[in-house]
Structure 1
Amino acid sequence: MTGHDGGAPAVQVLYEDNHLIAVVKPPGMLSQADETGAPDILTVVKADLKARYNKPGNVFLGLVHRLDRPAGGAMLLAKTSKAASRLSDAVRSRSFAKGYIACTEGVPSPREATLVHFLRKDAKTNTVTAHPKPVPDAKEAVLSYRVVAEAEGRALVAVRLHTGRPHQIRVQMAAIGCPLAGDRKYGAGEGVRSHDTAALWSAYIGVAHPVTKEWLEIRSLPPREGVWASWPDSAWSLAEGSFTAEGTDG
């Protein structure tokens, strides 16, 4: 963990070089500042870099992908405009691999499948609806999932994103009757502490390094607390093993 004076949240760095920094976004933190003024990971990491490297003036940091506010886990940020541009191109061309671990209420059936929905966002309510066929203003959303463990009516699920839509995993899993634990916005029940809302963790990022072109893999697992506490080591090994350079795509 690294941090700096002034009471700002500490930053957990997963990887860093002159071009990139990968960090853990805590659940409940925004990816980018909004009108609420709540803490956001982009501002927190900028402040951390400024303090650690004694940088005068503004620090450049490019946001190339986002995590929903309730989700936690790995985020990759660009430290140069060149890296930001190239990573953004990778996201658009779907060569930016994203793997997530989710805990669902209910056990998805079949245990392994690819889901295709058309998602439409209502900006006024900040909610997304899933449709089986194209509808006006909806965008295609595709993910693959695999159940790696189940217990007491819940499942630990490895998810590979093939598109990056707002609330995508939360909405698509809810659409098959398995909302994420604690995600009351999309149909989960009571009984999960508020800080656990939406049991979703960014566990894997794979992308060609924007400068060296070498394949870069970033991995992160959630802390063993809340809905994540009861799963055995074998389940986490299976979940992690679901994400490889060959087996994941953006």
Structure 2
Amino acid sequence: MRLDKYCATLEGAPSRSRLKNGALQIVVNDAPAKMSRQVRAGDVIIIEWEDPLPETPEPENIPLDILYEDENVTVVNKKQGMVTHPAAGNWTGTLVHALLWHWGGRCSCGGMRPGIVHRLDKDTSGVLITAKNRESETWLQDQFSGRKVKKIYAAILSGVPKKKDGEIKTHLFRDPRNRKRFTWSEESGRGKASWTSYQVVAVYGSYSLVLFTLHTGRTHQLRVHSKFLGCPILGDPVYGKKDPLFPSATLMLHARSLTIALPFSSEIKTFIAPFPRRFAKVIRKLRDTYDRRKEL
């Protein structure tokens, strides 16, 4: 029996039409599978699908930390824990809902992600620029797709990189053993090319404060590249381990600055998001724990 026919017989499974249009992910024996595959006895089948989204998001009165605003853009300091745009499991309470309330109907962008031209993971805080009209949306999208935007992130790592600065160039792809993770290959034939520069700013014993510059924008790029260095980001539940000194730490990754040409003046501006309290608390404890801070 074909895989799509078999899945359609399962109670609670999506219809065959959803199977055919790719609205879900099917893994057979730990590997992505085509609908035409023949099912055999002993196959382990995992089906992942998303619930349907509402047609349009509704404004919600959620406070925002506005770093800059003009008639074309709004730049925010996104807080940790806030999802950037609506998606399955997060239909409310996102940055989009907060922006729609803030704009009060003054945004001409449509769809489920109005004004969103780039995103930050839920547990990553920091600078994020949004568009208030379709023309600005196109302008900003061109800036990002043309890699004309400079993005610098700060992270506290569990470990100290061997070199105080350097570049990481790998190809990233979804981990076949864990669909929530990405992994890397240094060979060009697999995954998407990714490129990160880094600089170690300070060392606290077996921890370090590092600045990352993103040259590409792949999902989980900095989290995977930190793991590649042998120094996962402190508080990362996916790529790291629970830290004995900071057992309750959340992801210590912050989009520190963003440099971009604004529509339509082409004025180059740099927006900086202050370090969040969680960074200050961790660094304070590191200073108290280790007698001497080594500046690099």
Task: Return closer, same or farther for 1:57/1:222 CA change in 2, 3 Å cut-off.
Answer: closer
Please name the residue that 1:228 is paired with. Answer: 280
Please name the residue that 1:133 is paired with. Answer: 187
Residue 64 (structure 2) pairs with residue 11 (structure 1): yes
Kindly provide the CA deviation profile for residues 139-163 of structure 1, in whole angstroms up to 9, marking residues without a partner as x.
0100100000111311110110000
Please name the residue that 2:25 is paired with. Answer: none
Pick which of 207-216 and 114-123 moved more.
Answer: 114-123
Kindly provide the CA deviation profile for residues 117-173 of structure 1, in whole angstroms up to 9, marking residues without a partner as x.
11002598232111122243x001001000001113111101100000000000011
CA drift of 1:58 comes to 7.7
Paired AA for residue 46 in structure 1: L
Highest RCO, 1 vs 2 (Cα 8 Å, sep ≥ 6) = 1
CA drift of 1:222 comes to 2.1
Residue 210 (structure 2) pairs with residue 157 (structure 1): yes
Q: What percentage of residue pairs aligned between the two structures are identical?
A: 28
Give the unaligned 5+ runs of structure 2. 1-58, 288-296
Q: Which has the larger radius of gyration?
A: 2
User: Structure 1: how far apart are the matches of 2:217 and 2:107?
Assistant: 33
CA drift of 1:56 comes to 7.9
Aligned-partner SS, 1:229: helix
Aligned to 1:180, which of 220, 226, 233? 233
TM-score between both structures, scaled by the size of structure 1: 0.81
Aligned to 1:93, which of 121, 138, 146? 146
User: Structure 1: how far apart are the matches of 2:106 and 2:115?
Assistant: 18
Please name the residue that 2:129 is paired with. Answer: 76
Please name the residue that 2:94 is paired with. Answer: 40
**What RMSD over aligned residues (CA atoms) do the two structures have, in Å?**
2.4
Aligned to 1:170, which of 206, 223, 226? 223
Residue 171 (structure 2) pairs with residue 118 (structure 1): yes
Task: Return closer, same or farther for 1:198/1:219 CA change in 2, 3 Å cut-off.
Answer: same
Give the unaligned 5+ runs of structure 1. 1-5, 236-250
Paired AA for residue 207 in structure 2: R
Aligned-partner SS, 1:202: strand
Aligned length: 221
User: Structure 2: how far apart are the matches of 1:210 and 1:56?
Assistant: 17
Give the conservation status (yes or no) of the 8 Å contact 2:109–2:115: no
Aligned to 1:28, which of 74, 81, 90? 81
User: Structure 2: how far apart are the matches of 1:40 and 1:56?
Assistant: 18
Kindly report which structure 2 residues correspond to 1:41-56, keeping only aligned pairs within 5 A, or say none. 41-50=95-104, 55=105
User: Structure 2: how far apart are the matches of 1:58 and 1:78?
Assistant: 9
CA drift of 1:229 comes to 2.2
Aligned-partner SS, 1:24: strand
TM-score between both structures, scaled by the size of structure 2: 0.69
